[in-house]
Amino acid sequence: MFGLRIRCVLIPLLWACCLGSALAADTTRQQIDIRRQKLHEDIDALQARLEAVDGQIDQQLALTPDREVNLLLTDVFLRRVDALQDSLEFSKVLEHRLKVKYLAGLEHTLAGYLSETRAGRIPPEQGSLLFSGFESIMRADMAGRSIAATAESQPFPVGNILFLLPNSVFHDTPGYREARNTIFLKYCSLHPEKVLTTIVGFADQLFADSLIALSARRYPNLFYDYAAAVTTPLGQLIRRQKDPLARVITDMSNRPGGRLLFPFIDEVVKGRATLNQIEAAMKDSLKYFRLLVSTQIRYVDRMRAGDTPFAAPELPRMMKRKAEEVFVNTINALHDEPDAVRFRILEPLDVRELYYLIVMGEEIIYTSSYRGVYNRMMERMQTPSGDSLLLSVRFDRFKKFIKMAAGFNRLDHFLSTMPDSNAQRLMIAFARGLDRTGGLEEAVDVADSYGSITTPTVRRLIDREVELSRQRSLRASQRRSFVIYDILQTIFRSSSDSTVDLSAKLGIPPVYRVDYRQLADTGGRVVQLVFFYGDKDGIESFANFMTLFGSKADWLVTRTKEWVEIQSLTGKNLSIYANLPLDNIAGDDPDALAQTHLLGHLETLGLAPTIVIHRGHSYHLKYTLAQLPATARVVILGSCGGYHNLDEVLERCPDAHIVSSKEVGTRLVNEPILRMLNEDLRNGNDILWVPMWNALSALFTQPVTRERFENYIPPHRNLGALFIKAYRQTMGAAL
């Protein structure tokens, strides 16, 4: 590194060849100009920091796993940087101003490389290209030539350091602006989603408007958000756009309730509707939902013809939101009222609108709510006909509808309303094409449905289609398709044949048991974590939960202002922590704060929960999932909501056994499950799901409690979760 070390004559001669006569060195002079001393020291410090990345000061850089690459980088950032420092400092041609400029540029380049490497934004092996690029720019600057061409050959990470990082010493060099534009366009190509957050610095360039218009098409939601920020530089830049789509989105963002307009962008751009017409429908929840449904059916027709509406996914998202907010939540909340009162809000809805209430309300609809909607849907057809219903909605989301009908024990009835040949074709279509969607939701729906189907002929149809699809995939060497159908076939066989070993066949942990030793920590303690929420149901649920621990001989209960700790006094060491369901009437989320503090408390104590329980409505579930510890091995969810929630649990806890419910949990079932689970844990027993579920089933003999219990799905019957686990294991990648 640079200092007062004596250099051999060879180094300046080599650099004289590389950099030209302007850098001809005078090695007889060893005194550094005091005006440049700090620059040299800063460069030396950066070299030392690069050398110390691996924790060792040994004149070697270890920035990659490849020894040859590391040797090259060592030569670049130690020997060649030293040589360049010498050549610049002792040049007889360069004046002080230029020496300062190039030394400062070298420091800027090294600092950029160090920070960008640490941030993972530049592959370390591109350091050699970076140094060569800096030399090229410097030579061009010395000669008064444009540096624009240098940018064209640079990969973006290198060009970013040379041209985009702030405070470049070459800002007044010919071609600098063109070079920055070149590198910025490379960035936009690599990260189109970030155009809107970075375009302001290039607002005066000809390409700015085109990039903004392209962003409106690719990322309409993001575009809407920025367009709504009227006073920001980006908001003002967006408002100058002449692109029709950009102008429509901008207009929507300026109107009250603009997000309700947003799903109809394509309709407005194509001239099929005006913003004023949509705003008129927005004033009435029924009219607005009706408009969503009719537009969605039209969109399905268009997509089947190869004409995909712009921002098409936005419309079903809004339909789901309105179905839940306006209709499903209402009938759920009135579950204790007479049907005439409870379902009054459904009276104006037609058959197609009721259909969409069902498929869009999957995550929150209660069993009794589903049956009420389903019955009214079928009654409002002049002649109840399932195939006619599906034709009227263009078979949109029919697999979701079939899955729900199976889960709520209405599939047999639905199939009975159509000719047998049509029913058979429908169930074949249900199990076909599961590999074509790109995702796994339909495959998980089929897996979940199978466990609820009791009609032998329907099961045989699905079995046959799965086998045929499996064979087709095998012949065509379509690995992903084969894996999907092979897993489904194995899971389906296991549901009726106890000799099928899912663990051995699919490579997943045992599904019928959880060993006690997997739940206890090294100190022999099992930690259970329970999330409660501060609404009326949550407060009542917590009160019922605490009745499980009334025996002072068996349990020690310690209450704080934010949570309760329950410790077993007999048997094995079981610690249960539950946050208090603090009332959120002031809107300050005290229960959320209590959960955060409780998790911090457990972390401070070094306690890792292996059992996690969600007690609350489905709209609270996302908060539980966001805090789900990776150590969880048993996860009990009320109101599971299907694929997306199962997927999120298994993303965080790949080996978790999941107990899920089709609707919000009830104390009539929760308390017996938890009592039996805790007794097994206190006795040091393994969790055996089949015997436990058989014992629980015997407790629920009354029709009301029996129906509630049957809404709960134990891990060994949770075929959707088993499918996700097996797919992850087989494909070796996250979904």
pLDDT mean over 677-695 = 95
| Mean residue pLDDT across the chain | 90
The candidate with the shortest Cα–Cα distance to 46, out of 94, 124, 110, 123, is 110
Structure tokens at 257: 């309730």
What pLDDT score was predicted for residue 238? 92
pLDDT at 520 over 50: yes
pLDDT at 278 over 90: yes
pLDDT at 430 over 90: yes
Q: Which residue has the higher pLDDT, 125 or 704?
A: 125
Beta bridge partners of 556: 567
List CB contacts of 72: < 8 A, sequence separation 6 or more: 125, 128
What pLDDT score was predicted for residue 536? 83
pLDDT mean over 461-481 = 95
Q: Is 606 left (phi over 0), alpha (psi -120 to 50) or beta?
A: left
Among 90-99, 260-269, 451-460, 469-478, the least confident range: 451-460
For residues 713 and 657, is the Cβ–Cβ distance under 8 A?
no
pLDDT at 719 over 80: yes
What phi and psi, each to the nearest 5 degrees, are found at residue 148? -60, -40
Q: How far apart are CA 323 and CA 330, in angstroms?
A: 10
What pLDDT score was predicted for residue 30? 62
Structure tokens at 258: 């603009």
Beta bridge partners of 575: 527, 567
Q: Give the confidence band of 364 by pLDDT, cuts at 50, 70, 90.
A: confident
Q: Which residue has the higher pLDDT, 733 or 184?
A: 184
The candidate with the shortest Cα–Cα distance to 577, out of 613, 544, 529, is 529
Q: How far is CA 314 from CA 206, 263, 310, in A?
A: 31, 5, 9
Among 77-91, 313-327, 392-406, 662-676, the least confident range: 662-676
Residues of the chain with pLDDT > 70, as a percent, come to: 94
Q: What is the pLDDT of residues 524-570, one digit of tens each?
A: 999 999 999 988 888 888 999 999 998 889 999 999 999 999 999 99
Q: How far apart are CA 134 and CA 128, in angstroms?
A: 10
What pLDDT score was predicted for residue 27? 45
Structure tokens at 645: 């929630």
Q: What is the residue-wise DSSP string for 358-425?
A: HHHSTTT--HHHHHHHHHHHHHTSSS--HHHHHHHTTTTTHHHHHHHHHHTT-HHHHHHTS-HHHHHH
Q: Give the confidence band of 1 by pLDDT, cuts at 50, 70, 90.
A: low
For residues 311 and 266, is the Cβ–Cβ distance under 8 A?
yes
Q: How far apart are CA 218 and CA 209, in angstroms?
A: 14
What pLDDT score was predicted for residue 642? 61
SS3 letters across 542-554: HHHHHHHHCCCCC
pLDDT mean over 519-523 = 94
Beta bridge partners of 660: 713
Q: What is the pLDDT of residues 101-137, one digit of tens each?
A: 999 999 999 999 999 999 999 999 999 999 999 999 9
pLDDT at 211 over 60: yes
What phi and psi, each to the nearest 5 degrees, are found at residue 9? -70, -25
Measured in residues, the chain has a length of: 735
Q: What is the pLDDT of residues 222-274, one digit of tens each?
A: 999 999 888 889 988 998 889 999 999 999 999 999 999 999 999 999 999 99
pTM (predicted TM-score): 0.76
pLDDT at 26 over 80: no
For residues 356 and 296, is the Cβ–Cβ distance under 8 A?
yes
The candidate with the shortest Cα–Cα distance to 532, out of 623, 658, 630, is 623
Q: Which of 612-621, 658-667, 672-681 has the highest mean pLDDT?
A: 672-681
What pLDDT score was predicted for residue 708? 80
What pLDDT score was predicted for residue 55? 83
Q: Which residue has the higher pLDDT, 113 or 448?
A: 113
What pLDDT score was predicted for residue 451? 80
Return the CA Rg of the chain: 33
pLDDT at 29 over 60: no
Q: Give the confidence band of 9 by pLDDT, cuts at 50, 70, 90.
A: very low
pLDDT at 2 over 60: no
3-state DSSP call for residue 667? helix
Q: What is the pLDDT of residues 618-644, one digit of tens each?
A: 778 889 999 999 999 999 986 665 656
Q: What is the pLDDT of residues 295-309, one digit of tens each?
A: 999 999 999 999 999
Residues of the chain with pLDDT > 90, as a percent, come to: 73
What pLDDT score was predicted for residue 21? 44
pLDDT at 54 over 90: no
What pLDDT score was predicted for residue 177? 96
pLDDT at 49 over 70: yes
What pLDDT score was predicted for residue 665? 62
pLDDT mean over 385-406 = 95
